[in-house]
Amino acid sequence: MTYMHIGKDFTPPDVEGKVTGAARYAEDFKKDGMVFARMLTSPIPAGRVVNIDASAALAMPGVVGIFTADDLPPSAPPANPALAKEYVTYIGQPILAVAAESDLIAEEALAKIVVEYQRRPFVVDPLDTLTEGGPDPYPMGNTLIRNSGEAAAGTTASGTDVGRIKWSIDQVTAFRNGREPTGAEFGSEWEYGDVAARFAECTTVIEEPFVTIGQPHHSLESRTSMAYWENGKCYFHGSLQSHTVGHDVLAGMLEIDPANLVFINENTGGGFGSKIFPYPNMAITGRFARQLNRPVQLRITRAEEFFIGSARSGMQGWIKIGLKDTGRVGAVDVIIVNDAGSGGGGSGGSSAEHISIMFQPEAMRFRGVSMYTNTTPRGAQRGPGQNEMAAVLAPMMDKAANMAGIDRVAFRRINAPRADGKIGERQGGLSSSYMPESIDKAAQMFNWEEKIAKPRQISATKVRGIGVGQGFHTAGSNGYDGLIRIAPDGTIYLHTGVGNLGTYSYAGITRAAAEALQCNWDNCVIVHGNEALNLPHSTYQGGSNTMFTETRSSHVAALDIIEKMKEIAMAEFGGTIDDYSIGGERVFLTSDSSKGMSYGEAAQKAIEMGGKYSGMEYPDNIHRTTQRSVQAMQGTGLIGVAKDTLPREGAVPGMAIAFVEIELDTETGKFDITDYSAVAECGTVVHPQGLSQAMNGGGVWGFGMAAYERHVYDPQNGLPANVGLYQSKPPTYLDVPVTMNTAGMDLPDPQSPVGAKGIGEPAQGCAVAALMSAFTDALDGHLFNRTPVTADMIVNHIAQNGHNTGNLKTNTF
């Protein structure tokens, strides 16, 4: 299909500000009379606050107030409180905030506050707390229990409680040694097909342990926020990766009428899953500002961003994979113990889902348990579950394929999901899948046949590794609102409540509206980032879903406004709605294009006609947020507003496949990526530059996950070793290839009006998997069974000194 805008590059409006530095983030906003709030964080990994003596701090000139857990509604574990009191569960957990006239005074005041703690036992490795007799991270247990919807008193996380699951020493020992922990208890289990029967039919069966360590999100923009109150309204500058979907949640956290909240967030410097919804410390900013009756900026330092900014859950696992002689994956049995940190949850289920869709096993069983530890809270991070599973699974699948004597790419093609593919426990369907085609396209880009035939030994000290990996994430949702206003001057305002998390998707999705409106892009203005500008209720931005979900709501809003323009024209020129067409930013009688009017004229008429045309009336199925925005724009132009009720069925899979060639130095454990080729199965490509950005960025992060990034805790005292960004080791410009070849499959998903699906997470998943696969290939099929694989591990392996971190430890080097 030929499009006017879809599939074409354009310059999103925030690019210039990002390049020049003019772009403003929450911390850049100041307000007269603003005070700086800073947090005091826990030095102990587990315990409770016995007493706080802030008298010396409060007596300091310039100190204006203190805010503690007592100033917040009570919350009980496992809810992650903004400020801890009874349950301090990790080092760095915020205890209180102090506000002062300057940042320096606030910082000095913190040093004067004496907090008395009572310590409790702590644990940093999930298997240690899982072992009978092992310490528990909370006094009442070590795992999240769902209480069929009933919330523990005061919890914000409804229906959850902290419970206890223990395994016997024998079970843990078996698990640590890569064997199935027979008879062990799990928090969640599912199975489809007859796993035992399918295994019996398999001719190749492998059993492997695996471990992945977490990674902190370390968003470059820390979660600083600023709030002030004016005329009963709270103006809140924050840093979320979604925007309006967080509105009601934030209002709830501040216990105010949503109508009295204006949330402003033009740019977000990274969230990666940690800022999808409002997070606990935002409650401090708004409430403290109200308490002090002054604007408050709660400034979050880099170290605090590590502590409260979330991290990927590590996993320790065991898997059994069976291949039939046809090369089909007959059965998979997988056990995952997740590290949920001091709060949040593991993503074992999503990990299992990755296996189920990418390799379509005929039968599969998943058993998982998510253990709390006294480490930073965990949460979604780019492909939570799926990507870490992609990482460890790729080399294991390679091993199975090699044992079965099947080419690794052919093996993936045999098992790849097609349009009739199934996913997960319930074996639900997919909205579309062009994965086999994507595998072929990427293999061709990479020259797989030629590369795989190359000798592995390059020189005495260099070996080649060829890897292939796949990434997946569900990439679509529905049911959000679209909002467009055309002003009498003809300017088309494309309103979106999508957050600007740096991916340009907020802009990309509006192209679907422009496409429907057949309008000149120069006449379009994207309205976003500030609720005072009247934004619709838009999707949460996690799980690659923005492109699919919001091209739909943009599209329905455009259809609504087109219909209204036609009705307006009809009122002028008669006929039925079907007699009208649009084009050249005019609406006109199809039979006589001179009978028509420009979009601007239609807008003028809309104002005159009032009613639904100028927003005086609106559909009642739209969200309250959208309703308020429409109300605020009443009478200012032609309003197109609609909720996405387009049909939708099955999971929307965003998928990607990558190939990596590396040259590995056997003397240093270092490697160069000499080729990276990846194809995104993301439906229709909406914004080619945006796609290549996503694929490159995801690729880089995938390399980081495979070989560099880490989450290290000292088990002796619960101290984190990678609080600093440089200590967490994201890859640098010298660790990644200069050019990365990426492309989109560019075949449409039938459930998106423009055919688009998202590709955020899989871009990373395919890269980490491919690089892990390349390591194994370079090292004669050696499985590290772990990510990341760092240079020291490679050196140890080659030296055969038996000193690689083994034993399924997470939060370690």
The contact set with other proteins (CB under 8 A) reads 38-44, 91-92, 103-104, 107-108, 110-111, 117, 119, 301-304, 307, 461, 665, 667-670, 708, 712-717, 719, 721, 723, 726-727, 729, 731-735, 790-793, 795-796, 798-799, 801, 803, 805, 812-813
Tokens linked to 610: 């009032």
Query: Nearest distance from residue 301's CB to other proteins, in Å?
Result: 4
* Shortest distance in whole angstroms from residue 218 CB to other proteins: 14
Q: Nearest approach, Cβ of 99 to other proteins (angstroms)?
A: 14
Q: Which is nearer to other proteins, 183 or 802 (CB)?
A: 802
Q: Which is nearer to other proteins, 28 or 813 (CB)?
A: 813
**Considering only CA atoms, which of 661, 701, 695 is closest in space to residue 681?**
695
Distance CA 516, CA 639 (A): 15
| Residues 342 and 120 sit within 8 Å (Cβ to Cβ) | no
Q: How far is the CB of 667 from other proteins (least distance, A)?
A: 4
Q: Report, in Å, the least distance between residue 302 CB and other proteins.
A: 6
Asked if residue 605 lies in contact with residue 490, where contact means CB atoms within 8 angstroms, the answer is no
In the complex, the smallest distance separating the C-beta of residue 721 from other proteins, rounded to whole angstroms, is: 5
Q: Cα separation of 275 and 253, whole Å?
A: 15
Pick between residue 702 and residue 760 the one whose CB is nearest to other proteins: 702
Residue 400 and residue 324 in contact, taking contact as beta carbons nearer than 8 Å: no
CB of 16 to other proteins, least distance (A): 24
- Residue 326 has a CB neighbour count (10 Å cut-off) of 11
Give the shortest CB-388-to-other proteins separation in angstroms. Answer: 19
**Closest CB to other proteins among residues 48, 422:** 48
Burial 295-315 (b: 16+ CB within 10 A, else e): bbbbbbeebbbbbbbbbbbbb
> At closest approach, how far in Å is the CB of 122 from other proteins?
11
Q: Which one, 69 or 642, has the nearer CB to other proteins?
A: 69
Residues 319, 366 contacting (CB under 8 angstroms): no
Closer CB to other proteins, 46 or 358, in the complex: 46
Beta bridge partners of 163: 143
Say which residue the tokens 């919804």 belong to: 277
Please identify, using beta-carbon distances, which residue of 14 and 304 lies nearer to other proteins: 304
Q: Partners of 252 in the beta sheet?
A: none
Residue-wise burial string across 91-117, b where 16 or more C-beta atoms lie within 10 A, e elsewhere: bbbbbbbbbbbeeebbebbbebbebeb
Whole-number Cα distances in Å, 108 to 16, 57, 61, 142, 291: 38, 8, 11, 36, 22
- Tokens 């992945």 sit at which residue? 212
Q: How far is the CB of 131 from other proteins (least distance, A)?
A: 16
Q: Which is nearer to other proteins, 199 or 713 (CB)?
A: 713
Q: Which among 659, 635, 694 has a CA at the least distance from the CA of 771?
A: 659
Half-sphere exposure of 88 (CA within 13 A, CB side): 27
Q: Which of 211, 212, 208, 214 is nearest to 397 (CA)?
A: 208
Least gap, CB of 92 to other proteins (angstroms): 7
Q: Which is nearer to other proteins, 309 or 417 (CB)?
A: 309
Largest CA distance in the chain: 87
Q: Which residue has the tokens 């940190």?
A: 341
Supply the DSSP symbol for 83. S
Judged on CB neighbours under 10 Å (0-12, 13-18, 19+), 16 is: exposed
C-beta of residue 655 within 8 angstroms of C-beta of residue 765: no
**H/E run at residue 117:** strand 114-119
Burial level of 799, CB count in 10 A (0-12/13-18/19+)?
Answer: exposed
> Which residues are CB-neighbours of 460 under 8 A, at least 6 positions away?
none
Comparison of 452 and 719: residue with beta carbon closer to other proteins: 719
Smallest separation, CB 338 to other proteins (Å):
22
- DSSP β-bridge partners for residue 428: 423
Helix (H) or strand (E) holding 37: strand 35-41
- In the bound state with other proteins, the residue whose beta carbon lies nearer, of 214 and 246, is 214
Q: Which tokens is 690 given?
A: 């945006």
Closer of 275 and 729 to other proteins (Cβ): 729
Nearer to other proteins, 117 or 521 (CB): 117
Report how far residue 177's alpha carbon sits from residue 808's, in angstroms, rounded to the nearest whole number.
8
Q: Which is nearer to other proteins, 546 or 722 (CB)?
A: 722
Query: In whole angstroms, how close is the CB of 332 to other proteins at the nearest point?
Result: 33
d(CA 107, CA 94): 14
| Residue whose CB is less far from other proteins, 613 or 713 | 713
Closest separation between CB of residue 413 and other proteins, Å?
A: 35
Residue 507 CA, distance from chain mean position: 18
Q: How far is CA 41 from CA 129, 269, 621, in A?
A: 24, 23, 44
Torsion angle in degrees (nearest 10) through CA of 509, 510, 516, 517: -170
Is the distance from CB of 317 to CB of 210 less than 8 angstroms?
A: yes
Q: Select 596 or 702, whichever has its Cβ closest to other proteins.
A: 702
Cβ atoms within 10 Å, residue 259: 14
Measured from the CB of residue 185, what is the shortest distance to other proteins in angstroms?
Answer: 28
Cα gap 793→813, rounded to integer Å: 9
Choice between 41 and 342, CB closer to other proteins: 41
Shortest Cβ 111–other proteins spacing (Å): 7
Task: Residue 407: count other Cβ atoms within 10 Å of its Cβ.
Answer: 17
CB of 110 to other proteins, least distance (A): 4
Nearer residue to other proteins within complex by CB, 242 or 810: 810
- Supply the minimum distance, in Å, between the C-beta of residue 377 and other proteins: 16
